[in-house]
Amino acid sequence: MKITASKQAVLNGISIVSGAVPVNTTMPIQKFILISASGGKITFTANDSDLGIETVVEGSIETAGIAAIEKGMFMEAVRKMPDGEMNIEVGEDFTMHIRNEEQKIDLSIKGNSGEDFTSLPDIEKEEPIEISMLTFRDMVRQIIFSISTGNESNKVMSGVDCIIYGDYMRLTTLDGHRVSIRNVDFDKEYKKQEVIIPGKTLSEISKILQPDAEKKVLIYITESHISFEFENTVAVSRLIYGSYINVDKMIKSEFQTSIKVDKKKLMECIDRSTLYSKEGNKKPVIIDVFDDELEIQVAATYGGQDEHIDIEKQGNDIRIGFNPKFILDALKVIDDDEVSIYFINSISPLYIKDAEETYIYMILPINLN
């Protein structure tokens, strides 16, 4: 194999497929990137057991061929090359040479034939769901933080619930303390269905999506897989088998109190509350809702907080306690300048949501008694 490509194109290709190279694995081949040059197309592929990513790299092919190269070493070597065109040649012993002829540079890395490499599963393609890269990227960013991690006993909760309701889609994540929901309307009707996507898949894909409202992601769903196609890239992931918790009942509540508050002010205030979250015995932030202001207080053994923030309020006064981290996580991903918060009573969750319910964050309180 002999190809020519720019350093930037190769680096970009490596970093796109890197999301499917596991950090730890017992299968050495999963640490490799498969490079294929054939039919006029250079493709890089990586594939761990759950997620595979394949991307087309711009460049020219002098001799077709295929080889696998360890991702870490490949990336480091390319990073250290000068900018501009590079020649990449893999000989019969599968040693890759990365050359800059003009500057008389020749770096070599031993690779292998790639015959142990598992290619991406071929999935049956029905009509894809179309969504802009920007919107899908934002949706994932706005719900991915409340996924359950490290809980192998309930794999369903390590996934993102994705429900296509026909003309809109809902992404939901939850851990034992909170539920995060993002809804998006479609301009056409799709087949109703529900799947659970591994959190890691969406997290990796959102990293390689550009914040571009004009470009589309095409999403194909089958019984066992989900595939994302955008620009020169295809990502195929296994789905998680199981039933997700039904959150419909949780989010239909009678609120006794609602407030409107400046998001930045509240976020900076709750960020200060986290100063006092270091003790083993974590102190809740106590929120008192009065007519025109919130009072925010924390009392820890090594200090405390007392702040007042102006609000607009409807309904009753209320005193309620929370883990400040959970409120902060939600406020950090909300793009609105003003947020509305809804309360039921001091032992029920609060809800941060916009009027159209494009986002809903439900957070369980800490009992103050």
Residues that bind a second copy (CB under 8 A): 73, 76-77, 80-82, 95-96, 103-110, 265, 268-269, 271-272, 275, 301-309
Please list the alpha-helical segments (H only) found in the chain.
7-17, 71-79, 133-143, 199-208, 263-273, 324-333
Q: How far is the CB of 271 from a second copy (least distance, A)?
A: 6
- Using DSSP's 3-state secondary structure scheme, residue 171 falls into strand
Q: Cβ contacts of residue 186 below 8 Å, gap of 6+?
A: 129, 131, 167, 168, 169
Q: How far is the CB of 102 from a second copy (least distance, A)?
A: 11
- Using DSSP's 3-state secondary structure scheme, residue 343 falls into strand
Tokens of 216: 């589309």
- Using DSSP's 3-state secondary structure scheme, residue 110 falls into strand
The residue ranges of DSSP E strands in 279-337, in sequence order, are 285-289, 293-300, 303-310, 312-315, 318-322
Q: How far is the CB of 309 from a second copy (least distance, A)?
A: 8
Residue closer to a second copy by CB (options 67, 169) is 67
Q: To 10 degrees, the CA torsion angle through 200, 206, 209, 214?
A: 140
Phi, psi (rounded to 5 degrees) for 226: -130, 140
Residue closer to a second copy by CB (options 201, 323) is 323
The residue ranges of DSSP E strands in 58-167, in sequence order, are 60-63, 65-70, 85-90, 95-100, 105-110, 129-132, 159-164
Q: How far is the CB of 287 from a second copy (least distance, A)?
A: 15
Residue closer to a second copy by CB (options 175, 268) is 268
Q: How far is the CB of 304 from a second copy (least distance, A)?
A: 5
Residue closer to a second copy by CB (options 109, 156) is 109
Q: How far is the CB of 181 from a second copy (least distance, A)?
A: 29
Residue closer to a second copy by CB (options 192, 264) is 264
Residue closer to a second copy by CB (options 104, 188) is 104
Q: How far is the CB of 104 from a second copy (least distance, A)?
A: 4
Residue closer to a second copy by CB (options 41, 272) is 272
Distance separating alpha carbons of residues 227 and 218, to the nearest angstrom: 8
